[in-house]
Amino acid sequence: MKSVQALGERLIGNLEKVIVGKRTTLERVVIALLCEGHVLIEDVPGVGKTMLARSLARSLACTFRRIQFTPDMLPSDVTGVSIYNPATQTFEFRPGPILGQIILADEINRATPKTQAALLEAMEERQVTVDGVTHILPRPFMVLATQNPIEYEGTFPLPEAQLDRFLLRLRLGYPSLNEEMRILEEQQVRHPLEALQPVATAEEVLQAVAEVRRVYVAPTIRRYIVELVRRTRESPEVALGASPRGSLGLFRTAQACAALQGRDYVLPDDVKAMAVPVLGHRLLVSPAARLREVNPNRIVDEMVRAQPAPAGDFAAAVTERIQSD
């Protein structure tokens, strides 16, 4: 897994040239990339959500598309449309901005539910269907969506089916005093994004994705993941718990978390580290808990603390498995 670890360090180091002081968030974005998942960035304006998406695309030399969602946007504005060409007497497909590699879905909750639904097929199946014709999306393909959590006028909250398509929900947060002073200093003459150079290729990312899938997850840790997700469905504070997609997301992100640390096996700590960003946004809090302003992230965190973690020599288990094969 040294090649995956080296790729992750290059990407994170390059992103830190633009996004200051947010290494944990950057690590999780790279984890989502290695899992071929999508990220919902929920934070206030001006903290660098758009710059993060642009920096990632430039670091990978991938095509970048930005979709600025508005209430009057139509699904065809996202997926594309077939236009009749009189010269050839045929319909020609004009691709929409979703047919890229790194997609910034800016202020996604400003779009109507009909337009939001246009993303579902692309995010889950990596394809779009227009007028009965299916168009395969390029790889790697990743949607980074943003929304403002404190602005509600003129917005349409994302339904559970849409939220469930996002592998992770992240927040950047405000920088510290020293970090904000560093931002002022670095952007005095020009923005660091202008000088950012690619440090990896799409082919390297796809190779790393395949490597991550081979990270060993012991049966006891698999059971730990499933039991943790099942607890979200049994809590009296939760009206709707995480689906099996949540279990698979926690499984995949734990593999990527281990690979970024150079390990070819998953530890319980990898699962614990990814539980809140993977499961928090998948929970629908019960009305009674909502009145008490219970935070779903806190519910997941308490469940992780309460669930006994498996013990054992997981590195030795990998060796035994290789020898038996």
Q: What is the pLDDT of residues 13-67, one digit of tens each?
A: 999 999 998 999 999 999 999 999 999 998 888 888 889 999 999 999 889 999 9
**Residue 220: per-residue pLDDT:** 93
Average pLDDT over residues 274-301: 89
Average pLDDT over residues 163-184: 92
- 88-92, 168-172, 318-322, range with greatest mean pLDDT: 168-172
**Residue 155: per-residue pLDDT:** 76
User: CA-CA-CA-CA torsion for 94, 96, 97, 98, nearest 10 degrees?
Assistant: -130
Cα 59 from Cα 54, distance rounded (Å):
9
- Band (130; pLDDT cuts 50, 70, 90): confident
**Residue 115: per-residue pLDDT:** 87
| Residue ranges matching CATH 1.10.8.80 in the chain | 215-324
Whether the predicted pLDDT of 323 surpasses 80: no
Whether the predicted pLDDT of 288 surpasses 90: no
**Residue 250: per-residue pLDDT:** 96
First vs last Cα of the chain: how many Å apart?
19
Please tell me which residue, 159 or 125, carries the higher pLDDT value.
125
The topology (CATH level 3) of 215-324 is: Helicase, Ruva Protein; domain 3 (1.10.8)
Question: For the chain, what is the mean pLDDT?
Answer: 89
Average pLDDT over residues 103-119: 88
Give the total residue count for the chain.
325
**Residue 41: per-residue pLDDT:** 93
* Residue written as token pair 């830190």: 16
Residue 54 makes CB contacts below 8 A (sequence gap 6+) with: 64, 104, 193
Whether the predicted pLDDT of 75 surpasses 60: yes
Please tell me which residue, 167 or 153, carries the higher pLDDT value.
167
**Residue 293: per-residue pLDDT:** 81
Quick one: tokens of 243? 């689906």
Whether the predicted pLDDT of 313 surpasses 80: no
Whether the predicted pLDDT of 145 surpasses 90: yes
Cα 305 from Cα 301, distance rounded (Å):
6
- 26-30, 134-138, 285-289, 291-295, range with greatest mean pLDDT: 26-30
Burial bucket for residue 288 (CB in 10 Å: 0-12, 13-18, 19+): exposed
| Residue ranges matching CATH 3.40.50.300 in the chain | 2-207
Cα 68 from Cα 66, distance rounded (Å):
6
The model's pTM: 0.91
Average pLDDT over residues 104-112: 90
Give Cα 186 distance to the centre of its chain. Answer: 28
Query: Which of the four CATH numbers 2.60.40.1120, 3.20.80.10, 3.40.50.2300, 3.40.50.300 does domain 2-207 have?
Result: 3.40.50.300
**Residue 239: per-residue pLDDT:** 87
% of the chain beyond a pLDDT of 70: 95
- Band (246; pLDDT cuts 50, 70, 90): very high
**Residue 312: per-residue pLDDT:** 74
